[in-house]
């Protein structure tokens, strides 16, 4: 009934297929490898309860009043101390999804190019599309020189079209959806590329602290703090229900984000910020993180073992050193979107890999989450999924 | 150092002069009639503490997990029941400021016209500007037919320019900054105008429940629920630190807002929503509202009495029946922006009325808030401000 009253941007909005799945089914009634939900077991309810009482005692009404647009000083300082950056380089965001969105808003005009990996995080692709960015995905290449050349080729093409690359969006640690990380050399190469061609890098890093093996690799931000915007999140190391994250960037960039956030929502939720600050600076967050990492490492090992045991020949998967996801590749000809309804009818859910590919490739891929379900349900879920895949793949072959 | 890397929108961003004041001075060290802060006294700390414990007991980990983009069902249902609308017409927003911003985003392309009162709410003007809307302010006119004619004239002008009015933004109850309300006849006239010319109305209503005298007037939403988007807020009836509000609208409009909010921030803060839902449905919110109204009515009466007693001749002010603000008009030639530094040096703050006027008129006006300070500080603050104004105005005359 509203005809063409809506803005041009709305024509580019697209719905998250992941969130649409959640509307249709109760996650607890099926074996769900879909979504990126942390395990509710990792939310330290008793410590949260204690911390909340302490915050009310300490701050009183201030914890429920309006606050600074940049975030409450206590949380900005706790984040700055944890990541070794000056406090004027910290903006608290109402979730790192907001970090992605507000960065895109202050950087992208319709038609501007955003470079990203192919595949990439769906929520970021939604944001880029909603501002009518021209998204160019570049697949990973294990050969560093070839990887560089792939990017150079796309950038040359963009220039030939008279367009501008505004930023490269990357999740260097335990990527969503692939679970894989960029090596230090790859990070250096991409930062160098950005400097030479004059674009920024958005480093989205919600999983970084969930490492189950191997050594931490320096952030892209640490390689060039004036060119990289680092986005962090409390969702995977504390609890997503607080909707809190942070952006680290040069003050000139944060200033644009700050003014934008004034009209977006004035300030992040105040009480939640004090709770997060208290949780961080008391050491409770780190204690809880140790337990979370042990739990998720066990689930990842379990899932890898089960795939090895049950998956039919011709199916490959990534071996993530951290994070929440791994990525399955089925033989050519398999269609994970078509297969999805059959899987859901049988009681098992995943996200088809195609949705993460800005170029709509990856039809034979799917993302599996291993954080949400219990070990028992992961076990039963993989058996069920593997049985369905065995039947489907023998049909293809 | 970033040259022209930022988006075109950023050139239209402007900083809130109110928030800039807060950066410079500690609100508690001066007599502050600036800002729109509720009194921290109205935050029911003990009831909040109890409610939070109940929410953790009842919902456990679910209170800290991701949730639905539309808001948790319990809060949507509580809001729907309170305002007598179907639940599918309720979207929970991360503050009503977000409601304003997301509505503008889904409706306005650069150059589209937004009609508003002159003066109007600064945070809304920030949002409209940030999307490069063409803002046309219409001053209030006590004569209904003349008021209608003023709007018709602006709309005819917009059409002659080949532009489109997307919506009219109004705060019908105890407006920010004027404190004044629209009569039922004025609301009907504006809704009729919108229907005839095919634009929407955004009814921003954060102060509606803070009525100190007189009868409630029907919302514009109730007059035409398919043409009016109603924005509500928990900030003034519960506590702003939760950053929670709601939008009531036709499901076709809410659907655009829903998809937009997926990429903005996925969902509103979950724990805070359960606390608000529990506070609302337990009746605690209404009990607290009775106390809040009594407190603010006393402060409003005090302020009105003090102005009568101390203000020099030639100063006029509004007599709000509710809300948080009243509006002062000084003699022609007075400049409230210039006068501001002198007032601040003497220890008293207000917001210059000019900032609320999209056409930059209203140089001789200022907004006074009466919710934030204690009665004692209101008394001393008015005496100080009046003494400064007496000196200044006798200079002008």
Average confidence (pLDDT) over A124-153 = 98
Point out the residue among B37, B62, B97 whose CB comes nearest to the CB of A65: B37
CB contact under 8 A, A16 and B52: no
Residue (of A100, A102, A107, A97) closest to A262 by Cα position? A102
Residue B20 is predicted with a pLDDT of 73
Q: What is the pLDDT of residue A108?
A: 98
Pairwise CB contact (< 8 Å): A269 & B240? no
Res A297: pLDDT: 98
What confidence tens digit (pLDDT) does each residue in A160-185 have?
999 999 999 999 999 999 999 999 99
Q: How far apart are CA A154 and CA A152, in angstroms?
A: 6
Q: Which of B6, B22, B101 sits opposite A264 (nearest CB)?
A: B101
H-helix or E-strand spanning residue B248: strand B245-248
Contacts of A363 (CB under 8 A, 6+ apart): A334, A335, A336, A337, A352, A353, A354
Residue B28: what pLDDT?
77
User: Which residues in chain B are contacts of A15 at CB distance < 8 A?
Assistant: 259, 262
- CB proximity list for B104: less than 8 A, separation 6 or greater: B114, B127, B128, B130, B131, B133
SS3 content of chain B, % helix, strand, coil (to 5): 50, 15, 35
pLDDT of residue B144: 98
As a whole number, mean pLDDT of residues B232-248 equals: 97
How far is the CA of A321 from the CAs of A136, A138, A216, in angstroms? Answer: 27, 22, 10
Q: How many CB atoms lie within 10 A of CB A338?
A: 11
Residue B124 has pLDDT above 90, yes or no: yes
Kindly tell me if the per-residue pLDDT of A1 is higher than 90.
Answer: no
**C-alpha to C-alpha distances, B228 to B71, B187, B249, nearest whole angstrom:** 21, 11, 7
Question: What pLDDT, on the 0 to 100 scale, is given for residue A19?
Answer: 73
Cross-chain Cβ contact B265/A130 below 8 Å = no
What chain B residue is nearest to A62 in terms of C-alpha separation?
A: B40
Q: Which residues of A touch B107 (CB under 8 A)?
A: 5-7
B344-393 residue pLDDT tens: 999 999 999 999 999 999 999 999 999 999 999 999 999 999 999 999 88
Q: Work out the average pLDDT over A53-67.
A: 97
pLDDT category, B191, cuts 50, 70, 90? very high
Per the CB < 8 A criterion, the answer to whether B90 and B264 are in contact is: no
Q: Average pLDDT, whole number, for chain A? A: 96
Find how far residue A347's CA is from the centre of its chain.
26
pLDDT at position A215 = 97
Contact B16 A262 (CB under 8 A): yes
- Which residues are paired to B32 by β-bridges? B349
* Beta strands A113-117; B113-117: pairing state: unpaired
Q: Which of A67, A241, A263 sits opposite B64 (nearest CB)?
A: A241
A60, A108, A266: residue with CB nearest B45: A60
Cβ within 8 Å, pair B49-A56: yes
- Distance CA(B297)–CA(B42), nearest Å, equals 13
Alpha carbon separation from A105 to A141, B109, B331 (Å, rounded) = 30, 14, 43
**CA gap B327, B175 in Å, rounded:** 10
pLDDT band at B395 (very low <50, low <70, confident <90, very high): confident
What does the pLDDT read at residue B393?
Answer: 87
Q: What angle do CA A138, A142, A144 make, to 5 degrees?
A: 85
Cα separation, A243 vs A228, in Å, equals 23
Question: Is the preceding peptide bond at B119 cis, omega within 30 degrees of 0?
Answer: yes
Confidence of residue A396 (pLDDT cuts 50, 70, 90): low
Average pLDDT of the segment spanning A141-159: 98
Nearest to B2 among A40, A66, A253 (CB): A253
**Does B15 contact A at CB distance below 8 Å?**
yes
Chain A interface includes B107 (CB < 8 A): yes
CB pairs under 8 A between A and B: 229
A281-317 confidence digits (pLDDT tens):
999 999 999 999 999 999 999 999 999 999 999 999 9
For A14, nearest residue in chain B (alpha carbons): B259
Q: Is the minimum CB–CB distance between A387 and chain B shorter than 8 Å?
A: no
CA–CA distance, B293 with A1 (Å, rounded to integer):
40
CB–CB of B394/B312 below 8 Å?
Answer: yes
Average of pLDDT values for B96-125? 98
Question: How far from A161 is each of A195, A201, A264, CA to CA, in Å?
Answer: 21, 21, 33
pLDDT at residue B81 tops 70: yes
pLDDT value for B25: 74
B265 and A60 in contact by Cβ < 8 A? no
Nearest-neighbour CA in chain B from A100: distance (Å):
8
Angstrom distance (rounded) from CA B142 to CA B148: 10
**CB within 8 Å: A106 and B10:** yes
Q: Cβ contact (<8 Å) for A263 and B61?
A: no
Q: How confident is the model at residue B85 (pLDDT cuts 50, 70, 90)?
A: very high
For residue B26, pLDDT over 80 is answered with no
For chain B, what percent of residues have pLDDT higher than 70? 99
Tell me the two tokens of residue A336: 């994970």
Measure the CA–CA gap between A299 and A42, rounded to whole angstroms: 13
**Chain B residues near residue A48 by CB distance under 8 angstroms:** 56, 64
Q: Does residue B216 or residue B26 have the better pLDDT? A: B216
**Which A residues, 27 through 66, put their C-beta within 8 Å of a C-beta on chain B?**
35, 37-38, 40-41, 43, 45, 48-49, 52-53, 56, 60-66
Q: Which of residues 286-345 of A touch B (CB under 8 A)?
A: none
Measure CB to CB from residue A241 to each of B198, B265, B269 and give the nearest one.
B269
Average pLDDT over residues A367-389: 97
Three-state SS at B184: helix
Shortest CB distance from B19 goes to which of A61, A65, A262? Answer: A262
B393 to chain A, closest Cα gap in Å: 34
**pLDDT tens, position by position, B130-148:** 999 999 999 999 999 999 9
Of the candidates A321, A316, A322, the one whose C-alpha atom is nearest the C-alpha of residue A366 is A316
Q: Is residue A22 predicted with pLDDT exceeding 80? A: no
Length of chain A: 397
Structure tokens, B370: 């009466």
Residue from B292, B165, B290 nearest B239 by CA: B292
Q: How many Cα neighbours within 13 Å face the side chain of A83?
A: 28
> Is the model's pLDDT at B237 over the cut of 70?
yes
Q: Which positions ≥6 away from A90 have C-beta within 8 Å?
A: A70, A71, A76, A79, A80, A246, A247, A248
Domains within chain A, CATH numbers bracketed: 8-44+286-396 (3.90.1150.10), 65-282 (3.40.640.10)
Set of chain B residues whose Cβ sits within 8 Å of the Cβ of A263: 13, 97, 100-101, 123, 126-127, 130
Q: Quick one: average pLDDT of A208-237?
A: 98
Give B27's pLDDT tier (boundaries 50, 70, 90).
confident
Per-residue DSSP letter, B108? -
Could you say which residues from 77 to 96 on chain B have a Cβ atom under 8 Å away from some Cβ of chain A?
94-95
Of A172, A155, A154, nearest to A223 (Cα)? Answer: A172
Residue A397 has pLDDT above 70, yes or no: no
CA B281 to chain centre: 25
Confidence of residue B396 (pLDDT cuts 50, 70, 90): low
Which pLDDT belongs to residue A395? 72
Select the residue from B18, B265, B272 to test the A interface by mutation, using most A Cβ atoms within 10 A: B265
Contacts of A110 in chain B (CB under 8 A): none
Q: In chain A, what percentage of residues exceed pLDDT 90?
A: 93
Provide the mean pLDDT of chain B. 96
Provide the shortest C-alpha distance from residue A376 to chain B (in Å): 19
- Is A61 in contact with B43 (Cβ distance < 8 A)? yes
Cβ distance B123 to A1 less than 8 Å, yes or no, reads no
Least confident of A341-345, A375-379, B58-62, B290-294: A341-345
- Contact residues, chain B, for A200 at CB < 8 Å: 5
């Amino acid at each position: 009934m509203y005809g063409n009253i809506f803005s041009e941007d709305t024509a580019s909005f697209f719905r998250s297929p992941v969130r649409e799945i959640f509307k249709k089914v109760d996650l607890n009634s099926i074996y769900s490898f879909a979504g990126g939900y942390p395990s509710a077991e990792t939310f330290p309810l008793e410590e949260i309860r204690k911390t909340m009482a302490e915050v009310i005692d300490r701050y009183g009404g201030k914890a429920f009043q309006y606050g600074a647009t940049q975030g409450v000083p206590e949380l900005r300082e706790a984040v700055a101390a944890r990541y070794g950056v000056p406090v004027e380089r910290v903006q608290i965001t109402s979730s790192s999804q907001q970090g992605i969105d507000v960065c895109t808003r202050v950087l992208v005009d319709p038609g501007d190019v955003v470079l990203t990996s192919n595949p990439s995080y769906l929520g970021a692709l939604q944001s880029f599309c909603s501002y009518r960015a021209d998204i160019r995905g570049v697949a990973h290449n294990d050969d560093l020189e070839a990887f560089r050349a792939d990017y150079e080729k796309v950038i040359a093409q963009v220039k030939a079209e008279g367009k501008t690359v505004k930023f490269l969006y990357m999740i260097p640690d335990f990527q969503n959806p692939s679970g894989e990380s960029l090596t230090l050399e790859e990070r250096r190469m991409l930062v160098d590329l950005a400097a030479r061609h004059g674009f920024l890098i958005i480093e989205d890093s919600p999983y970084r602290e969930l490492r189950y093996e191997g050594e931490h690799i320096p952030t892209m931000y640490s390689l060039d703090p004036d060119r990289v915007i680092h986005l962090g999140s409390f969702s995977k190391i504390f609890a997503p229900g607080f909707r809190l994250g942070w952006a680290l960037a040069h003050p000139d960039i944060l200033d644009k984000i700050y003014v934008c956030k004034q009209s977006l929502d004035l300030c992040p939720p105040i009480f939640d910020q004090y709770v997060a600050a208290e949780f961080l600076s008391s050491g409770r967050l780190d204690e809880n993180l140790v337990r979370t990492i042990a739990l998720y490492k066990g689930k990842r090992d379990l899932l890898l073992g089960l795939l090895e045991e049950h998956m039919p020949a011709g199916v490959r998967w990534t071996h993530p050193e951290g994070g929440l996801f791994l990525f399955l590749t089925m033989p050519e000809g398999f269609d994970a979107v078509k297969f999805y309804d059959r899987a859901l009818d049988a009681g098992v859910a995943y996200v088809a890999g195609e949705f993460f590919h800005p170029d709509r490739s990856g039809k034979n891929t799917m993302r599996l989450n291993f954080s949400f379900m219990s070990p028992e349900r992961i076990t039963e879920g993989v058996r069920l999924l593997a049985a369905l895949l065995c039947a489907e793949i023998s049909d293809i072959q």
